[in-house]
């Protein structure tokens, strides 16, 4: 329903971040990063909801967002203190999930979720978040 009624991809992303943040109580920060149209080597912050201000611009090969971008695969870290790639946005974050979003087989954005609780992302939630990211990719393909 969200994708079919959204006027723009930004509106879809805004609705999705709000719903995920409201409905999934352990998701303390939910947001999108989009590939910088002026420099494809960077991700720019897109719509987000959460309790801290994220990095505004991330080099494509930095952090967990960079790992998802360069591998083209979702990255799920249940305890960020154990992963040297983690780029801290808040010292309170314990787990993070990043799902790349593709348009015409090219990275266009990422859905990033951070939690103040370790082991937040059970398999069913990972599948659900991947489906949310896929919806955004499908929306982009149609526009």
How many other β-carbons are positioned within 10 Å of the β-carbon of residue 39? 11
In a domain, 64, yes or no: no
Distance of CA 73 to the CA centre of its chain: 12
In a domain, 35, yes or no: yes
What is the reported pLDDT for 88? 86
Counted domains in the chain: 1
In a domain, 73, yes or no: no
**By residue range, what is the domain housing residue 16?**
2-59+80-142
Q: pTM, whole model, 2 decimals?
A: 0.94
Query: What is the rounded CA–CA span in Å between residue 2 and residue 116?
Result: 27
In a domain, 68, yes or no: no
In order along its 143 residues, the chain shows pLDDT tens digits of 566 677 889 999 999 999 999 999 999 999 999 999 999 999 999 999 998 878 899 999 899 999 999 999 999 999 999 999 998 888 999 999 999 999 988 999 999 999 999 999 999 999 999 999 999 999 988 86
CATH number, position 106: 3.30.450.40
């Amino acid at each position: 329903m969200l994708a079919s009624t959204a006027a723009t991809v930004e509106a879809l992303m805004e609705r999705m971040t709000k719903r995920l943040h409201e409905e999934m109580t352990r998701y303390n920060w939910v947001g999108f990063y989009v590939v910088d149209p002026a420099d494809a080597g960077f991700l720019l912050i897109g719509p987000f909801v959460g309790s801290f201000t994220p990095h505004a611009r991330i080099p494509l090969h930095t952090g967990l967002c960079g790992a998802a971008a360069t591998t083209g695969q979702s990255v799920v870290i249940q305890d960020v203190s154990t992963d040297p790639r983690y780029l801290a946005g808040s010292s309170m974050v314990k787990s993070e999930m990043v799902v790349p979003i593709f348009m015409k087989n090219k990275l266009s954005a990422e859905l990033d979720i951070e939690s103040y609780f370790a082991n937040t992302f059970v398999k069913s939630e990972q599948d659900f978040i991947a489906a949310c990211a896929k919806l955004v990719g499908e929306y982009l393909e149609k526009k």
